[in-house]
Structure 1
Amino acid sequence: MKVTKFWIIVWEVYKKNVRSMAFILMVLSPILIAAAAGGIAYFVSQTATVPEIAIISKNQQVIEALSSSKGEYTLNKKITTEKAAKEALKKEDLAGYLIIEEKNDTITGNYIQSTTSDAVDTTLITQLLTAIQTNQVASKLGLSQKDVAALVTPADVKTTTLKFENGKEETNQATDAMIKRWSAYIVAFAIYMFTLYYSSIIAQEIASEKGTRIMEIILSSVSATQHFFGKLVGILLVCLTQILSYALIGTIVYQIGKSFDFMQEALKGIDLFALLKGLIGNSIVFFIFGIMIYSILAALLGSLVSKVEDVGKAITPLTLLTLVGFFGGMYGFATPNEPLVKIGSYVPFFTPFMMPFRIASDTVNSTGVWASIIIMAVFTMICTYVSLTMYRSNVLIYSDTSLMKSLKRSWVIMRNEKTKQS
């Protein structure tokens, strides 16, 4: 019978929140934003025009070489003088014009554009002019094309990070490290958003029942322990539903979108399997513990107030801790080796935000990772025990005093009850 009552509480909390407009908007808002961004990107790519430029030069070879470029710009061959080019630019018939001069085997170019012109990437122009200049000098020196190719071939430099784990050497490519770091960023941002939302929800759940005196009726048929865990499990199931919704929608969007050219272009060079592996690895453990710690403490803080209107003030400490953790994680994203980040990654409130970045940058070994997980697990159990004990003491106490006074009084009541039992 007790189990049945527990699941009734879970189901009611779950049903109420999943059907709420706030939850629906919470689920749909990232999807709508992503869809809008994708639509804008697609529209821009379809309507984008290739800028037209003119080249002013006496060297026909240079003009022909520059006109061979496709996609970056088109060449207006009718305009051959600076005066005509400037007039066309004034009328906005040109995006710009390039004046090329040659002196002492050196080619110089001056690209002129107006403030309203379409932007032209001059990097390609610079590369083409450099190649022409190199060939001209090589020809004068009597060098073959093979000699020129050997001279201009750039050195090949790769970045490999060595990681020493249990005395063994492991390699980590720069691309893998970047994927891990962005996976950590996604997890940190998700924890930040989910923590703020669900901490508020669970605190409101308890405060609303307490404020309307319904709590007295509820606790006459179920224990405070069942009520506490019922609310907590119900909210965590709502959180799980939201995550699964994103996973399902993301899979559908990917399957449909990968047939479009612009989606293929956007995903080019991105290893989705490696990205998902980074998200589902250790990061999911920190995500779960982070949500649990903040939700448990939110339930306690929600039981300290007598009105829903006071929930915002009650969970302010949690909100501040979340902000510190999130911005600490962003700081760790840039500087994972800083002592402040290393210390903060073992503080349970901040571990979910900071430790994923340290793992991604390989600045912590497996012993450190497991130590942080154990610390979080122990801290979660302590939080659960303390919150549940204090919840039993104050859930039926109504007061308009400050949060600290309510917390202190709850602590005194809890100690008195323990003294009576002993």
Structure 2
Amino acid sequence: MSKYWVITKEVYKKNVKSFGFAVMVLSPLLVFAFIAGLTYYFSQEEQQAPDVSIAVLTENESINQIFSNEEWGFEIEKEIGTETEAEEALLDESISGYLVAEVENGTIDAQLVYTDDMSELLPIIQEALSNYQTMVRADQLALAPEEVMALSEPVMIDEQYVNVEEGSLTQEDFSDRMIQQGGAYFVSIAIMIFIMTYAGIIAEEVASEKGTRIMEIILSSASATNHFFGKLTGVMLILLTQIAIYAVVGLGAWLYFKDAQIVQDLIGGVDVAAIFQELMGYTLIFFIVGVLMYVVLAAFFGSLATKMEDVNKAVTPIVFLALTGFYVGIFAFTAPDNMFVAVFSYIPLFTPFVMPFRIAAETVSTFGIWMSIIGTVGFAIVISFIALAFYRSNVLIYSDTNLLGTIKRSWSIMQSNKKAKKLNHSA
């Protein structure tokens, strides 16, 4: 056991102290900080941008009062009194548009000439004029203000999102579903990134020692089992270290910036605690088991490579498997009740990518979720021991044959070793 921990410690220390680990950890943080900085910069630019100026040309004093007394997000250029002056100001870009409006027989005849700067203000101006026209017509009909308010009162719709489950309707919170969908996206992308990163690390760890022929010396003092699980544990501890760093940085950033106006505008009424709770539930289980499963496969395929140049070719099957699961998961978001998606959600290699989307869409029962978790965990354990069995056989094989040829040779050696053990026991 002490040799196992020596190997684990050596793998962990070597990688954590490397420049590559620092780059791997800092790159996402720098990208996120860059995006956050751009968001803050543009939000400040928008707040500090000068107000749009328009000219209001009308003989109706009430219309003038409407746009003079309210905060509309634009300024009224009061010095302009004619359309000719307004056109000249528009050509000089001193205003962004002008409004010509008159009232005849209870109807407002309005014309708005504007540039792109005012494209977002058109609905606001139209709503203001429509409300005034309603008041003019109500006055002609001698309606009281209360009656006008009753006529213009909008319809209130009580929204209830329900889920059909086991022959009954259960009310669901739509925001919870959005949180679950966000968690599913987070898990799928995170699993893909970590698989691509740590599959390469574990494969290189095995292939580098095998390529330099130092493996014979290592296995003379430590068993292949201790070496295999030591490497695996070391890499998983590196992964957990990276996650812990992100958790600490994220928590610190949240505590520091949570009261900032831009953060409050972004999160709105989102319950951050609920998001964290969702991510710490089923999605976290699928994340850990999914990455562990593919790292085990990477260790196995890495042992098939005889030199560092062959590592990329060795881990290619893992990349294709992960990409397949990722794209099926994206398809599951649009069609979570599809039979194809349901089948893939119970295939262990694809479960971590697909099942979170089915959970978010609530197309799977709690029993189905736990069945997939147990199946995935069981598959990860089984594949670990299968990988270990092959690892013992091929870790000292130096062959220039292709991947399938190396696997066949490993299988033959493994069968020969079993026969030899049986003969020894019988003797």
Which TM class, normalised by the smaller chain length?
over 0.9
Listed as ranges, the matches of 1:134-149 within 5 Å are: 134-149=134-149
Aligned residue in 2 for 1:38: 36
Query: In 1, distance between residues paired with 2:304 and 2:142?
Result: 88
- Partner-residue secondary structure (3-state), 2:55: strand
Aligned residue in 2 for 1:15: 13
**1:4-62 Cα shifts (integer Å, max 9, x gaps):** 11111111111112122222222222222222222222222223313222333343322
Listed as ranges, the matches of 1:301-316 within 5 Å are: 301-316=301-316
* 8 A contact 1:52–1:94 mirrored in 2: yes
Aligned residue in 1 for 2:86: 85
Note closer, same or farther for the CA distance 1:191–1:65 as it changes in structure 2 (3 Å cut). same
Does residue 392 of the first structure (1) align with residue 392 of the second (2)?
Answer: yes
Listed as ranges, the matches of 1:67-106 within 5 Å are: 67-70=68-71, 72-100=73-101, 102=103, 105-106=106-107
Note closer, same or farther for the CA distance 1:62–1:226 as it changes in structure 2 (3 Å cut). same
Superposition TM-score, scaled by structure 2 size = 0.92
Structure 1 position 178, deviation (Å): 1.0
Which segment drifts farther, 304-313 or 399-408?
399-408
Aligned residue in 2 for 1:56: 57
Query: In 1, distance between residues paired with 2:184 and 2:118?
Result: 37
Structure 1 position 145, deviation (Å): 2.3
One-letter identity of the residue aligned with 1:8: V
**1:361-386 Cα shifts (integer Å, max 9, x gaps):** 21111011011112111211221121
**1:113-151 Cα shifts (integer Å, max 9, x gaps):** 335x47534232232222222222222223222222223
Query: In 2, distance between residues paired with 1:378 and 1:185?
Result: 24
- Aligned residues, how many? 419
* 8 A contact 1:188–1:353 mirrored in 2: yes
Listed as ranges, the matches of 1:314-329 within 5 Å are: 314-329=314-329
Query: In 1, distance between residues paired with 2:38 and 2:327?
Result: 30
Listed as ranges, the matches of 1:353-392 within 5 Å are: 353-392=353-392
- Partner-residue secondary structure (3-state), 1:396: coil
Note closer, same or farther for the CA distance 1:299–1:134 as it changes in structure 2 (3 Å cut). same
Which segment drifts farther, 161-170 or 234-243?
161-170
One-letter identity of the residue aligned with 1:401: T
Structure 1 position 392, deviation (Å): 0.5
Which segment drifts farther, 35-44 or 5-14?
35-44
- Partner-residue secondary structure (3-state), 1:98: strand
Identity of aligned residues (%): 42
* Structure 2 unaligned regions, length at least 5: 423-427
Query: In 2, distance between residues paired with 1:164 and 1:118?
Result: 46
**1:158-183 Cα shifts (integer Å, max 9, x gaps):** 44333356677532111111111112
* 8 A contact 1:73–1:120 mirrored in 2: no
One-letter identity of the residue aligned with 2:400: D
- 25, 28, 43: which one aligns with 1:27: 25
Query: In 1, distance between residues paired with 2:351 and 2:193?
Result: 16
One-letter identity of the residue aligned with 1:163: N
Point out the structure with max Rg over C-alpha. Answer: 2
Note closer, same or farther for the CA distance 1:392–1:133 as it changes in structure 2 (3 Å cut). same
- Partner-residue secondary structure (3-state), 1:210: helix
One-letter identity of the residue aligned with 1:265: D
Aligned residue in 1 for 2:280: 280
One-letter identity of the residue aligned with 2:421: Q
Does residue 291 of the first structure (1) align with residue 298 of the second (2)?
Answer: no
Query: In 1, distance between residues paired with 2:390 and 2:125?
Result: 71
* 8 A contact 1:203–1:303 mirrored in 2: yes
Q: What RMSD, in angstroms, separates the aligned Cα atoms of the two structures?
A: 2.1
- Partner-residue secondary structure (3-state), 1:220: helix
Structure 1 position 303, deviation (Å): 0.4
Structure 1 position 232, deviation (Å): 0.7
Aligned residue in 1 for 2:236: 236
* 8 A contact 2:106–2:140 mirrored in 1: no
Note closer, same or farther for the CA distance 1:107–1:35 as it changes in structure 2 (3 Å cut). farther
Query: In 1, distance between residues paired with 2:91 and 2:245?
Result: 54
Aligned residue in 1 for 2:425: none
Query: In 1, distance between residues paired with 2:70 and 2:7?
Result: 68
* 8 A contact 2:54–2:74 mirrored in 1: yes
Query: In 2, distance between residues paired with 1:414 and 1:108?
Result: 90
Superposition TM-score, scaled by structure 1 size = 0.93
Query: In 1, distance between residues paired with 2:210 and 2:128?
Result: 74
Structure 1 position 105, deviation (Å): 3.9
Query: In 2, distance between residues paired with 1:278 and 1:169?
Result: 23
Aligned residue in 1 for 2:251: 251
